[in-house]
A and B are shown apart, each in its own frame.
Chain A
Amino acid sequence: SQELEQSPQSLIVQEGKNLTINCTSSKTLYGLYWYKQKYGEGLIFLMMLQKGGEEKSHEKITAKLDEKKQQSSLHITASQPSHAGIYLCGAGWTQGAQKLVFGQGTRLTINP
């Protein structure tokens, strides 16, 4: 079974619309990372969340970690073509854990 579940697996939205991607853990997280990847390329770091209830924003992207530290959401406001790509959440479950386990990824397509 997947320890980290992302939903949806793919998403197609009209340019300018808002969207949300979810990442759910089967157990309490120590740290949750969001990355963006374009097919065949490396990962671009977006945000890291560690505290329950934490919320971070960068430009039009906001990520939240729930109080129980088992679920995170990534929200994009007024989507643009540049937001298209694969979004991956990665998690560590223990303090000091350096390696991450990743969700399946969400493939985002933005239609003009």
Chain B
Amino acid sequence: GAVVSQHPSWVICKSGTSVKIECRSLDFQATTMFWYRQFPKQSLMLMATSNEGSKATYEQGVEKDKFLINHASLTLSTLTVTSAHPEDSSFYICSAREGQNTGELFFGEGSRLTVL
């Protein structure tokens, strides 16, 4: 079945630095990918919709300058947490759908970010 891969699976960084997380669809093309954030013991919160070749669509309350999203190809979307702070520490998960509007939505393994 289709697979979505994230890298890195976990990262520790110092406060003030920027961190990039990659989301790849391994055997299918994804014109749209989604980035979610999950706090401990909480559900997934949609952050933004990543659109190949165009600007990402951010959910209300998500800072677009803080969480930069780039969807440069049909198989890769990146999330960059800029000037990270401890409150940005979280589990970030991406997802992508194979095909158009129907079908299974595949999720990556997640990336755990810890900002010291």
Contact = CB atoms under 8 A, between A and B. Distances in A.
Instruction: Tell me, yes or no, whether A binds B.
Output: yes
Interface of A: 31, 33, 35, 40-45, 48, 50, 88, 90, 95-105, 107
Given A42-B93, A88-B43, A101-B46, A33 B110 contact: no
B106 interface: yes
B43 A43 contact: no
Contacts of A40: 91, 110, 112
Contacts of B49: 98-99
Contacts of B100: 96
**Interface of chain B, main secondary structure:** strand
A102 B43 contact: yes
A35 B107 contact: yes
Interface of B: 6, 32, 34, 36, 41-46, 49, 91, 93, 95, 97, 100-102, 104-110, 112
Contact of B101 (A42, A44, A95, A103): A95
Contacts of A103: 43
Nearest to B97: A98
Given A40-B110, A40-B112, A42-B108, A96 B43 contact: no
Contacts of A42: 6, 93, 107-110
Nearest to B101: A96
B62 to A, nearest CB: 13
A88 B42 CA distance: 10
B56 to A, nearest CB: 12
7 contacts: A96-B101, A97-B101, A98-B32, A98-B105, A102-B44, A104-B42, A105-B43
A40 B90 CA distance: 10
A43 B34 contact: no
A105 B97 CA distance: 21
